[in-house]
Amino acid sequence: MPDEPHRGPVLSVAALRKHYGDTIAVDDISFAVRRGEIVGLLGPNGAGKTTTLNMVLGVLEPSAGRIVIDGLDVARHRAEALATVNFAAVYAPLPGNLTVWQNLRVFGLIYAVPDLRTRIEQLLEQFDLQTFRDSKCGVLSSGEQTRVCLAKAMLNQPRLLLLDEPTASIDPASARELRQMIRAIADRGDSGILWTSHNMHEVEAVCDRVLFVSRGRVLLEGDPRRLPAERGAASLEDLFIRVAREPLSFGAGAGA
């Protein structure tokens, strides 16, 4: 990880495309995430959100376009760039047969985290996990497992944090606590966060800016608290439904 953060956006995506034969999953997407900002990537299932996240994570190779993370072009500086990234997703639970401590140690070694024991202790305290340090992750509640996943995602103090439905499987009280933790991470100002969610109340509460995606394209962008009124919708949820049902009225062309 670089000693000093790049002064530009923590993430810059330009003309990003991904296709599988004739099927277009992501169709010329461009956007940026600034340091200290939480950006919501919104859209119905199949809109291209997870494909976009996987390209940023380096799991998928783009068919075209450019991804720059903390000033590093991923195509040319893949290892350096991805060392500044981490993620948490509801569909990617940690190994349930390992304890909280063991999981954090394994992933800390993968990320080559310096002074790993001290870093783990810091995260156990930050995410209120000291009580569960020797508990196997498989026996924890959904809320506890989500906190462990978020602690894992912060091991390398990422400049870019990707969160895919991070609170989808937990109760409202735990979700509120997690949102506060994530908001605090962004407010420190040295990291940017890209967040996907189908919970529009959550998005409105935590995101600084949202991007509506449909058929692999960004159709709308703006402040989640102002964008609905600007587009004649009663709420962010109503706007989400309109974009999902009538993407062509917002400029979506053919695609996946």
- Position 253 pLDDT exceeds 60: no
Co-location of 115 and 164 in the same domain: no
**Model confidence pLDDT, tens digit, residues 184-240:** 989 998 899 999 999 999 999 999 999 999 988 999 999 999 999 999 999 999 999
pLDDT at 1: 43
The chain-wide mean pLDDT, for the chain, equals 90
Work out the average pLDDT over 60-82: 94
60 and 168 assigned to the same domain:
yes
114 with 220, same domain: the answer is no
Last residue of a domain, one of 117, 136, 157: 157
Whether residues 174 and 79 share a domain: the answer is: yes
Determine contact, residues 181/143, Cβ cutoff 8 Å: no
∠ CA 122-128-130, rounded to 5°: 70
| Same domain? 78 vs 183 | yes
Residues ≥6 apart with Cβ < 8 Å to 133: 99, 100, 101, 124
Q: What percent of the chain has pLDDT over 70?
A: 95
- Specify the CATH number for the domain of residue 44: 3.40.50.300
Q: At what angle do helices 100-110 and 116-126 cross, to 10 degrees?
A: 130
3 has pLDDT over 80: no
Which domain covers residue 56, as residue numbers? 1-84+158-256
pTM of the predicted structure, to 2 decimals:
0.88
Co-location of 212 and 251 in the same domain: yes
Q: For the chain, how far is it from start to end, CA to CA, in angstroms?
A: 36
Same domain, 249 and 171: yes
Q: Are residues 122 and 245 in the same domain?
A: no
Q: Which of 126, 141, 157 is the last residue of a domain?
A: 157
Q: Are residues 146 and 166 in the same domain?
A: no
Same domain assignment for residues 138 and 165: no
Whole-number Å distance between alpha carbons of 91 and 152: 15
Q: Is 213:49 a contact under the CB 8 Å cutoff?
A: yes
Q: 3-class DSSP state for residue 105?
A: helix
Same domain membership, residue 79 and residue 110: no
| Number of domains, the chain | 2
Phi-psi region of 236 (alpha: psi -120 to 50; beta: other; left: phi over 0): alpha
Residues 142 and 170 in one domain: no
Select from 157, 178, 194 the last residue of a domain.
157
For residue 230, the model assigns a pLDDT of 94
Is residue 7 predicted with pLDDT exceeding 70?
no
